[in-house]
Amino acid sequence: MERYAHITGWGMAVPERVMTNEEIAKLVDTSDGWIQERTGIRERRIAGPKETTASLAIEAAQAALEVADLSPELIDLIIVATSTPEHLFPATASLVQDALGADRAGAFDLLAACSGFIYGLSMASHSIQCGAVNNVLVIGSETLSRVVNWQDRGTCILFGDGAGAFVLQSSEMPGGVMSSLLRSDGSGGSSLIIPAGGSRLPATFETVRDNQHAIQMDGKEVYRFATRVMASAAREVVQCAGLTLNDINLVIPHQANRRIIESAARSLNMPEDKFMINLERYGNTSAASIPIAACEAVAQGRLRPNDNIVLVGFGGGLTWGAAMVKWDVPFRPEVSPWHRIRRQTVYQLAKVRSALKRGVRRVEGALYRTRPIPEEKQPPKK
């Protein structure tokens, strides 16, 4: 019996704060005209002091669970694709799992930079297809504004914050993620990098002073790489699914630069209106850009039931990847109000339970520390 991984829920979350190109022009030597002409970006969202990669991920995940009408206790696996995790560990995915009250879920972070969401989608669909899990939450979430050097005009104009999430569920009905491909070329790692903060270059006064905890990029190099791989990955993944480019209704590319997307459209010989583009409002939100664009494509009626779509991403690593999806979920605008109330209750209870568990852990710790060591386990007296 064959199993398929269908996308049954989608959701997004972006910070309220909008940062325009004009504002950036007050920080570095640039202009709205230059940024729009070279990238297509007009504005981006910037996380406020209380917003983090986890808080955006949780909001997007809750929206996706709403669309799928799925209870958090039924999630088997949570994958958070991010380059800006809350900590090196614990994984942001575990924080999301705790906040959602997803009791039965495994959770891990995935780092493949801007290709992270495609990598997560591929892992999730294969886990479903092989029978290991039934319900998976794949989230791309970023707060890149926290790792941007706001004095570097080559990078700070490009990035923004946000999150997007998909719910994937198993079904015997053919459809969903039909093929995917993942690629990497680590020889180009230094062309898009945050050099410090890992084990190779731990934080020191010097690394902070020299801005080595911020994104460094060889823009031209990355541009050339992106235009090369996008079209070939899209072509290959469509072929793998047994289709041709003529069968594709919509391409949802990683939103890095309008010129890169236009170049891919030319290489694929596809009209530009078959490409979903919303980077003018969000900039490059890395692992979050593809699910955010998918959510907006649904909202705008550009992504409809039974459409064949291609998702294609590229980024640091260097990494790239693509997925061909049959978007055949029956749309369910009428989510039962009872289910919605139940989910809200689960989220509230998750907070209480998390606090209780932390309390119990503290008490256990205190008791363990004060318990006397039995005579026979004490070191011999001299």
Catalytic residues, which ones? Answer: 114, 254, 284
Task: Give the bridge partners for 107, in sequence order.
Answer: 78
Q: Does 264 bind ligand COA (CB under 6 A)?
A: no
CB atoms within 10 A of CB 172: 8
Contact pick of 284, 285, 308, 319 for ligand COA (by CB under 6 A): 284
Provide the minimum distance between the beta carbon of 304 and ligand COA in the complex, in angstroms, as a whole number: 28
Q: Does 135 bind ligand COA (CB under 6 A)?
A: no
Q: Which position has the token pair 């942001």?
A: 92
User: Of 44-52, 66-74, 133-141, 152-160, which part binds ligand COA (CB under 6 A)?
Assistant: 152-160
Q: Does 153 bind ligand COA (CB under 6 A)?
A: yes
Which residue number has the CB closest to ligand COA?
Answer: 219
Q: How many residues bind ligand COA (CB under 6 A)?
A: 19
Structure-token pair, residue 151: 């004095």
Q: d(Cα 191, Cα 215) in Å, to the nearest integer?
A: 10
H runs (alpha helix) in the chain: 21-25, 32-39, 53-68, 92-100, 116-129, 205-209, 219-240, 258-268, 279-282, 289-299, 337-370
Q: d(Cα 105, Cα 77) in Å, to the nearest integer?
A: 5
Three-state secondary structure call for residue 293? helix
Q: Cβ closer to ligand COA: 136 or 157?
A: 157
Q: Does 154 bind ligand COA (CB under 6 A)?
A: yes
User: Of 5-13, 32-40, 64-72, 80-88, which part binds ligand COA (CB under 6 A)?
Assistant: 32-40
Provide the minimum distance between the beta carbon of 53 and ligand COA in the complex, in angstroms, as a whole number: 17
Picking from 111, 73, 77, 72, the residue whose alpha carbon sits closest to that of residue 94 is: 77
Q: Of residues 288-327, which lie at the interface with ligand COA (CB under 6 A)?
A: 315
Q: Does 347 bind ligand COA (CB under 6 A)?
A: no
Q: d(Cα 138, Cα 10) in Å, to the nearest integer?
A: 10
Strand-strand pairing, 319-327 and 135-143: unpaired
Picking from 63, 41, 125, the residue whose alpha carbon sits closest to that of residue 322 is: 125
Q: Of residues 39-78, which lie at the interface with ligand COA (CB under 6 A)?
A: 39
Provide the minimum distance between the beta carbon of 219 and ligand COA in the complex, in angstroms, as a whole number: 3
Q: Does 189 bind ligand COA (CB under 6 A)?
A: no
- How far from 213 is each of 24, 27, 103, 147, 276, CA to CA, in Å? 20, 19, 35, 7, 32
Q: Cβ closer to ligand COA: 122 or 257?
A: 257
User: Of 10-18, 31-39, 47-55, 329-337, which part binds ligand COA (CB under 6 A)?
Assistant: 31-39
Q: Does 329 bind ligand COA (CB under 6 A)?
A: no
Window 215-254: contact mask with ligand COA (x via CB under 6 A) = --x-xx-xx--x----------------------------
Task: Give the bridge partners for 5, in sequence order.
Answer: 170
The residues that touch ligand COA, with contacts defined as CB under 6 A, are 30, 34, 38-39, 114, 153-154, 157-158, 217, 219-220, 222-223, 226, 256-257, 284, 315
